[in-house]
Structure 1
Amino acid sequence: MLDGGRTPRGTYMGALRIKLQPGWKTYWRAPGDAGIAPSFSWRGARNVGGLSITWPAPEVFQTSGYRTIGYHGQLVLPLEITPETPGKPVRLKGRMQLGVCKDVCVPAELSFDHQLDSTAGRNPAIAAAMASRPWSAKEAGVRHAVCSLRPSEYGMKVTARISMPSAGGKEVAVIEPGNPKLFAGETTTRREGGLLVAETEFLPADDNAYAIDRSQLRITVLGQNHAVDIQGCSAG
């Protein structure tokens, strides 16, 4: 783990650092149909009142006809921790389950147990990872995002129409449902002038009823120049 010291807000900065061998990759939080989504357990952590993860902008890979989304070389995953009791030590203990792939994909598990150093200075690796996060909708000049829903044979079709400048090159959008009871299929993306149109299908994990809250949808646009993180969309 990496230490990043304390912020002016009184939170602690740290990061998980994963070094990959040449030719290997690991996955983003929404890895694509052929990827393995990472998961975390923080059991054993002490004095952690809240924790947020900043995902650096990922890459898009095409392998054997499948699109996956993730990282190669090295992944530095910044963590911002709000202590339950300010001024007392913060201990991060837990596990990260992830997939790593070269010619084949294999599940892996990383264990960590680290007391954060509140006196640590600015860490360049954490700063670089934070700087490579996707732009916010405001930073990217997104004017509006409208989502329409229509039932499909097995779930719900979702179409997002986003008024925004190009993120550069061939853009790839990912729509996350914001509901653990739903899975999202691969998103198709196209340009209609100043509109980026992204379509996917949400499929339920079981036969129980489910709800889709447009304010909880998360749309990430991956472009050649930058990525954009859009939180929620309006009805349309």
Structure 2
Amino acid sequence: MIKHFLLATTLFALVSPAAAEDPVGLPVTAHLIDGWQQADGTRISAIQLTLAPGWKTYWRAPGDAGIPPEFSWKGSRNLRGVSVSWPTPKVFEQNGMRSVGYSNQVVLPLAIAPKQAGTPIDINLHMDIGVCKDICVPQTLSLSGTLDAKGSAPVASIAAALAEQPYTASESGAKGVTCALSPSEDGLKITAKLALPSTGGPEHVVIEAGRPDIWVSEPVTSRSGNILTASAEMVSNGASGFAIDRSAIRFTVLGSSHAVDLRGCTPG
């Protein structure tokens, strides 16, 4: 499992960003969408990524064949905090490995908390992403702008992206998740049982450990009635021994009908 993961990461490191250029331009462009202001002073805005034909980019948990996006807000003014929302991604097969992400265009909604409510927020964002077509390459996108929208009416493109997020546990009819953790050769094995009605086959499960230093393999899944079982390996990129907080583990089920986002699991 570790060798498989390192091979995918090295693929990005060996190709220069210049090789990513499409005959008609760069493989991805980005711009900031100014949205609206909520009653508590939070500003809702978004990043819109537009990909050249045939190119794709990655979700927050990209799978074995991708790298996760990273955001740096250094240099922004009147910015206290940012929360990124992720519309439901697609599953891609690449060189025998699974990746999770987006093609064509994606809008990533942002909930931005200001230090001082009611005053403009100056955004200075550097976003490192991976993009793939026949090759996979890293790209750094730089965005700047002032968020100063006065209205409270939602912007259609951002509202649509928020509506495309996976269902919550209550919306999907999920009854909870149990998980068993046991030592493995490289770290820990997790076997999770998700009490969840079918999301439409085939179903893909993504498990996030709740720690950025823990890599989780692509799960092996099976379904029996309303129980979806997913087993995967958790491997640390540093220390040989590590602890996992079950309440921080996140499970996303990507089905052909809809997706579901489940947080935490209990021993079982």
Query: TM-score, normalised on structure 1?
Result: 0.97
Query: Hey, what's the Cα distance between the residues in 2 that align with 1:167 and 1:29?
Result: 21
Residue aligning to 2:50: 19
- Partner SS for 2:247: helix
Query: Hey, what's the Cα distance between the residues in 1 that align with 2:60 and 2:42?
Result: 23
Q: Once the two structures are aligned, what percentage of the paired residues are identical?
A: 48
Q: Is the 8 A contact 2:90 2:100 kept in 1?
A: yes
Report the alpha carbon displacement of residue 182 of structure 1 after superposing the two structures with TM: 1.1
Cα deviation 1:170-216 (Å, max 9, x = unaligned): 11000000012211111122102210001111101113542100000
C-alpha RMSD over aligned residues:
1.1
Query: Hey, what's the Cα distance between the residues in 1 that align with 2:173 and 2:180?
Result: 22
Runs of 4+ in 1 over 3 A off after TM superposition: none
Query: TM-score, normalised on structure 2?
Result: 0.85
Letter in 2 for 1:207: A
Residue aligning to 2:233: 201
Uncovered stretches (5+) of structure 1, i.e. residues with no partner: none
Query: Hey, what's the Cα distance between the residues in 2 that align with 1:91 and 1:219?
Result: 34
Residues 1:63 and 2:94 aligned together: yes
Residue aligning to 2:160: 128
Residue aligning to 1:87: 118
Report the alpha carbon displacement of residue 10 of structure 1 after superposing the two structures with TM: 2.1
Q: Is the 8 A contact 1:162 1:196 kept in 2?
A: yes
2:182 to 133, 136, 150: 150
Report the alpha carbon displacement of residue 118 of structure 1 after superposing the two structures with TM: 2.4
Tell me whether 87-96 or 114-123 shows the greater mean CA deviation: 114-123
Report the alpha carbon displacement of residue 27 of structure 1 after superposing the two structures with TM: 0.4
Uncovered stretches (5+) of structure 2, i.e. residues with no partner: 1-31
Report the alpha carbon displacement of residue 114 of structure 1 after superposing the two structures with TM: 1.1
1:216 to 248, 251, 260: 248
- Partner SS for 1:138: helix
Q: Is the 8 A contact 2:251 2:263 kept in 1?
A: yes
Residues 1:160 and 2:192 aligned together: yes
Residue aligning to 2:172: 140
Query: Hey, what's the Cα distance between the residues in 2 that align with 1:79 and 1:163?
Result: 31
Aligned length: 236
Residues 1:37 and 2:37 aligned together: no
